[in-house]
Amino acid sequence: MPLWTTHNIFLIFLAFIINLNFALLIVGLPFMQSKPLDLNQYVTDEALSGLFIMMGKEETKIRTDPTARATDLLKTNFWTIASRNLT
């Protein structure tokens, strides 16, 4: 049985028409107005979103796990500060 039968072509065409009508309906809705694409703004927004997500995860980890508070960077910095205050 061939792959491209008349029935299959008709079903593909029908799906295309339905999708086209749906797309035209969505474009006509007032809340679906397109905004101009600014690549720099998009990249900046996504980078900031990712940064705040990672900060939130780290904050949650610090608040729930007491051992997460003692990172190598904190140990180094506070050890340096403590050693300066002792002398």
Tens digit of pLDDT for each residue in 2-38?
566 777 787 887 788 777 777 766 666 566 556 667 8
Classify residue 35: in a domain, yes or no.
no
Long-range contacts of 41-50 (CB under 8 A, 24+ apart): none
Classify residue 12: in a domain, yes or no.
yes
Record the pTM. 0.42
Classify residue 1: in a domain, yes or no.
no
Classify residue 60: in a domain, yes or no.
yes
How far apart are alpha carbons 75 and 11 in whole angstroms? 66
What total number of domains does the chain contain? Answer: 1
Classify residue 34: in a domain, yes or no.
no
Give yes or no for a contact between 68 and 61, defined as CB atoms under 8 angstroms apart: yes
Classify residue 13: in a domain, yes or no.
yes
Classify residue 33: in a domain, yes or no.
no
Look up the domain containing 82 and give its range: 6-27+40-86
For 47-67, write each residue's pLDDT tens digit.
Answer: 999 999 998 888 888 788 877
SS3 4: coil
Classify residue 14: in a domain, yes or no.
yes
